[in-house]
Amino acid sequence: MNPLERYEPLVDDPRAFRAACEQPLPSVVRTNTLLVSPDRVREAFDESGVPYEPVDWHEGLFRLPEGNPGRTWPHVHGWTHGQEEVSTLPGIALDAQPGDRVFDACAAPGSKTTQVAAAMDDTGTLVANDNNLGRLSALRHNAERLGVTNTIVTNQDARNFSTKPLAFDAFDRALVDAPCSCEGTCRKNPDVVDEWTLDHVHGVAGIQKGILTRAVQATRPGGTVVYSTCTFAPEENEAVLDHVLAAEACELVSVDLPLETAPGVTEWEDETYDPSVRRAHRIYPHHNDTGGFFCAVLRVGGADEGRGGADRDAEVAS
């Protein structure tokens, strides 16, 4: 079974959905604002004769019609980083601030990590964790190339992440860009369709629940947790949220994203989910000419006993 057929009941236009999934994905780069402005990247591309198209909803993103973003000198100098358009959404939703304490639970190879570090102005503390030691080498390379210095790299199973080695007990924000079945990447990785199995969906969903649960537990009351995947499977998206909402003190909150999205689904096959999962965002390839994605924002419950990085910085400055 082609897994894309499985999700046709969820989309508004199945034919357009399938057609978009069969088209190659545009090559996109993100401006590294730690080192340079989007205007300077435009100038560099113009000077080098690199064709580009600005992404209309994000001034720091550029599509490169000829691909090969790593072969431009702005990339070599750390001015740009290859990153899908939809891949920037979790970082936007996280809204990390300078001075924050942020947990990136599944960080390698570091595209979202370095995006978040830039949003933090390379201040505060960003813990970039991954359980795959080999992939962490790519994260370290990307962080160094882009000039990121506020990041601590850890190698733990995020389901059992321990804050003991750190100088604090809780984070202000956490990002869980979870390992998944990846159907949403079919435009750049067509093999995911052929290799897809329902057993894998069910297996990875259990891992996702554990990681998101731990991220909520590790975030202070009043803090923010962003959950994202590149899959269309409700078992890995809404079902994971439903599980954590029932198990932990947290709530789904509404957030505006700068792309056309569809709400989360509250029913799938024989399952029903908490009605608030409609506040999550489903991103389909035919709506924005992007990959497929899922993104949701959780607020950790309880009294807001901690304060964010901006407050801490103000306190220090005074």
Q: For 294-310, write each residue's pLDDT tens digit.
A: 999 999 996 544 444 44
**Across the chain, what does the average pLDDT equal?**
94
* pLDDT for residue 149: 98
Backbone angles phi, psi at 310, to 5 degrees: -60, -40
* pLDDT for residue 317: 35
Distance CA 249, CA 216 (A): 8
Domains and CATH numbers, the chain: 85-317 (3.40.50.150)
pLDDT over 90 percentage in the chain: 92
Distance CA 264, CA 237 (A): 8
* pLDDT for residue 2: 87
**Is the per-residue pLDDT at 85 higher than 80?**
yes
The pLDDT of 282-291, averaged and rounded, is 97
* pLDDT for residue 91: 98
Band of residue 68 on the pLDDT scale cut at 50, 70, 90: confident
**Is the per-residue pLDDT at 37 higher than 70?**
yes
Tens of pLDDT, residue by residue over 127-178, are: 999 999 999 999 999 999 999 999 999 999 999 999 999 999 999 999 999 9
* pLDDT for residue 312: 44
Could you tell me the pTM of the whole model?
Answer: 0.94
Tens of pLDDT, residue by residue over 101-119, are: 999 999 999 999 999 999 9
Tens of pLDDT, residue by residue over 248-278, are: 999 999 999 999 999 999 999 999 999 999 9
Reading the block at residue 220, the tokens are 């202070």
Distance CA 41, CA 26 (A): 18
Burial of 258 (0-12, 13-18, 19+ CB in 10 A): middle
**What are the catalytic residues?**
230
CA-derived radius of gyration, the chain: 19
